[in-house]
Amino acid sequence: MSSNPYKYFMPTRVEGGIGVSEKTGEMIKELGATRVLIVTDKGIRAANLLEGIENSLLAANLDYDIFDEVEPNPSVETINKGTKYLMHHKSDAVLAVGGGSSIDTAKGIAVMAKNSGSILDYEGVGKIEFPPLPIIAIPTTAGTGSEVTASTVVTNKETQFKFAVLSPSLYPSLAILDPVLTLGLPQGLTAATGMDALTHAIESYTSKAANPISQSFAIQAIKMIGENITKAYFVGTDIKSRENMLVASMMAGAAFAQSRLGNVHAISHTLGGVFNIPHGIANAALLPFVMKFNLPACAEQYKDIAVSLGKDVNGLSTLEAAEKAIDAVIEMNQTMKIPLNIRELGVSLELVPKLVNDAMRSGNVFINPRLTTAEDIQMIIEKAYYGDIEEFETIKMKDTPRSSVLSHS
**Cα–Cα dist 122/145, whole Å:** 21
- Residue 341 three-state SS: coil
Contact residues for 408 (Cβ-Cβ < 8 A; gap 6+): none
Residue 211: strand, helix, or coil:
coil
Question: Cα-atom radius of gyration of the chain, to the nearest Å?
Answer: 20
- pTM of the predicted protein model: 0.90
Q: How much is the pLDDT for 342?
A: 92
Q: What is the pLDDT of residue 392?
A: 65
Q: Within 361-408, where are the H helices?
A: 364-367, 374-386
For CATH 3.40.50.1970, the residue range(s) in the chain are 13-182
Which amino acid, one-letter code, is at 268?
S
Ranges for all domains in the chain classified under CATH 1.20.1090.10: 187-408
- Position 409 scores a pLDDT of 28
DSSP code, position 49 = T
Could you tell me if 38 and 64 are in contact, meaning their C-beta atoms sit under 8 angstroms apart?
yes
pLDDT in tens, 384-409: 999 888 766 544 433 333 333 333 22
Whole-number pLDDT of residue 394: 47
CA 119 to chain CA mean position, Å? 20
Q: What pLDDT sits at residue 44? A: 94
Nearest to 95 by CA among 131, 140, 125, 127: 140
Contact assessment for residue 127 and residue 118, using Cβ atoms and an 8 Å cutoff: no
Tell me which fold the domain 187-408 belongs to.
Dehydroquinate synthase-like, alpha domain (1.20.1090)
Candidates 3.40.50.300, 1.10.10.1100, 3.40.50.1970, 3.50.50.60; CATH matching 13-182: 3.40.50.1970
Question: What was the pLDDT predicted at 182?
Answer: 95
pLDDT at position 3 is 58
**DSSP tag of 348:** -
Contact criterion met (CB below 8 Å) for 147 and 98: no
Distances in Å between the alpha carbon of 204 and those of 116, 157, 201, 210, 226? 33, 28, 5, 6, 16
Residue spans of the chain under pLDDT 70: 1-3, 391-409
Q: Which of 142, 63, 149 is nearest to 106 (CA)?
A: 149
Residues in Cβ contact with 4 at an 8 Å cutoff, skipping those fewer than 6 apart: none
> How large a percentage of the chain has pLDDT more than 70?
95
Q: What is the pLDDT of residue 164?
A: 86
